[in-house]
Amino acid sequence: MKKISQIFIFCNWKTYFLSTKNAISMIDKIKTQKNKVVIGIAPTSLHIESIKNKLKRKSMLCGAQYISENTGGANTGETTKEQIKKEKIDFVIVGHNERRKMGDNINKQIKNTVSVKIMPILCIGESKGESAQTTLKKQLKEALKGVSTKDCSGVVFAYEPVKFIGKKNPMKTIEINSRMKTIKKILKDNYKITNPVVLYGGSVNETNAVDILQNGNCNGLLIGRASTNPVAFNKILKCISINK
């Protein structure tokens, strides 16, 4: 059985937890493993202040689900780069399909994130019927336009094929492997990124996580709903620990 090397587990909690109390309860139930697994949690912005120190005490990263393309104070309902920097957030999720549909300016969001020295997790992925090669290349070109090679090398990439988000089963690992090769080649050829961190996201759960990591040619996972279930999430972490 193929061993899993250094991996990254990032969790998008979306708006699953209605209260700070419930979010904190989930963190308390996470059983971190003594191995080289980087875990990052992105709660809703309302909960960040209350839980970020608890995450850090458990050696987990705290992220934001959104950063505004705008700057300054007169931006009702937004979360700006100045606020993100002030909160000492570790990473920001940018370009998730649920945000792309709202018309986010992903390029400006990436630039705002790297400008305050915070790690972006850039989500990319084709929709049903689209050419993966064409779509991925276009999404990367649009998102990274005008971003320096140095800043590009600090971006974490998350491949999330749209038709597999929130479904019962993920993409087959042979297909994930192929997409990872495509993404890494595009990044090497066009952005001089030779060792990118590329995650897979899309219907990841406790029954398929290890298979994806072992056979999908990815560096980690971006997990949604399963990361809010303590039994499921701890099983994922335990299985990863056993197979490292």
Domain segments of the chain as ranges: 7-16+36-67+82-242
CA angle at 89 for the pair 84 and 90, rounded to the nearest 5°: 135
Q: Which helix (H) or strand (E) holds 39?
A: strand 37-42
Q: Which of 5-9, 194-198, 220-224 has the lowest mean pLDDT?
A: 5-9
* Residue 50 pLDDT: 94
Q: How far apart are CA 94 and CA 113, in angstroms?
A: 9
Q: How far apart are CA 157 and CA 5, in angstroms?
A: 18
Report, as an integer, the average pLDDT of 93-111: 96
Does the active-site annotation cover 160?
A: yes
> Which one is catalytic: 47, 96, 126, 206?
96
The pLDDT mean for the chain works out to 95
5 band by pLDDT with thresholds 50, 70 and 90: low
> Which one is catalytic: 47, 126, 160, 206?
160
* Residue 216 pLDDT: 97
pTM for the structure as a whole: 0.96
Token pair of 90 as six digits: 């570790």
Q: Cα 224 from chain centroid?
A: 9
* Residue 242 pLDDT: 78
Does the structure show a pLDDT above 80 at 151?
yes
* Residue 241 pLDDT: 83
Residues 6+ apart with CB under 8 A from 219: 6, 7, 8, 196, 197, 198, 199
| Residue 63, helix vs strand vs coil | strand
Which CATH number is correct for 7-16+36-67+82-242, 2.60.40.10, 3.20.20.70, 2.60.40.3140, 3.40.50.280? 3.20.20.70
* Residue 1 pLDDT: 42
- In sequence order, the β-bridge partners of residue 42 are 12
165 band by pLDDT with thresholds 50, 70 and 90: very high
Residues 6+ apart with CB under 8 A from 212: 170, 173, 176, 200, 204, 218, 221
